[in-house]
Amino acid sequence: MLIPAERKTKMRDKNEIFSLILKIANEDDRIRAAVLSGSHANPAIAEVQYQDYDTCFYVTDIKPFYNNPEWVKSKFGEPLIMQMPEIMRDPIGDGHFTYLIIFHDGVRIDLSFDFRKYIDDGEPAITLLDKDNGNGFLPVLSPPSDALWHIKPPSLLYFSSCCNNFWWCLNNVAKGIARDELPYTMNMLNQVVRSELHDMINWYIGVTKGFSLSTGKDGKYFKKYLPPYLYDRYVKTFSSGNYADLWESVYVMCELFHLLALEVAEHFGFNYRQEEEDAMMKYLQMVRG
- What CATH number corresponds to the domain at position 41? 3.30.460.10
- Count of domains in the chain? 2
User: How many residues would you count in the chain?
Assistant: 289
Residue 247 belongs to some domain of the structure? yes
Do residues 77 and 124 both lie within one domain?
Answer: yes
Residue 230 included in any domain: yes
Domain assignment of residue 3, yes or no: no
Task: Give the pLDDT band of residue 142 (cuts 50, 70, 90).
Answer: confident
Do 181 and 237 reside in the same domain of the chain?
Answer: yes
The domain boundary residue, chosen from 144, 172, 191 = 144
Residue-number span of the structural domain to which 18 is assigned = 14-144
218 half-sphere exposure, CB direction, 13 A CA radius: 3
- Asked whether residue 134 falls in the same domain as residue 181, the answer is no
Domain-terminating residue out of 144, 173, 191: 144
Rounded Cα distance, 285 and 6, in Å: 52
pTM attached to this predicted model:
0.87
Query: Would you place residue 45 in the very low, low, confident or very high pLDDT band (cuts 50, 70, 90)?
Result: confident
Sheet containing 79-83: which strands, arranged edge to edge?
79-83, 97-103, 108-114, 53-59, 31-37, 125-130
Res. 289 pLDDT band, cuts 50 70 90:
confident
The reply to whether 100 and 216 lie within a common domain is no
Position 7 in a domain: no
Residues 107 and 162 in one domain: no
Quick one: pLDDT at residue 88? 87
* E-state strands within the chain: 31-37, 53-59, 79-83, 97-103, 108-114, 125-130
97 and 196 co-located in one domain: no
For residue 49, count CB atoms less than 10 angstroms from its CB and return exposed for 0-12, middle for 13-18, buried for 19 or more. exposed
Whether residues 137 and 171 fall in one domain: no
Q: Within 13 A of 2's CA, how many CA atoms are on the CB side?
A: 2
Higher-confidence residue of 90 and 264: namely 264
Q: What are phi and psi of 98, to 5 degrees?
A: -130, 140
Model confidence over 261-283: pLDDT tens digits?
999 999 999 999 999 999 999 99
pLDDT-wise least confident of 111-125, 157-171, 185-199: 111-125
Domain membership of residue 151 (yes or no) is: no
Q: Is 179 helix (H, G, I), strand (E, B) or coil?
A: coil
Average pLDDT of every residue of the chain: 93
Look at residues 86, 111, 144 and tell me which one is the last residue of a structural domain.
144
- The band of 122, judged by pLDDT with boundaries at 50, 70 and 90, is confident
* Whether residues 139 and 172 fall in one domain: no
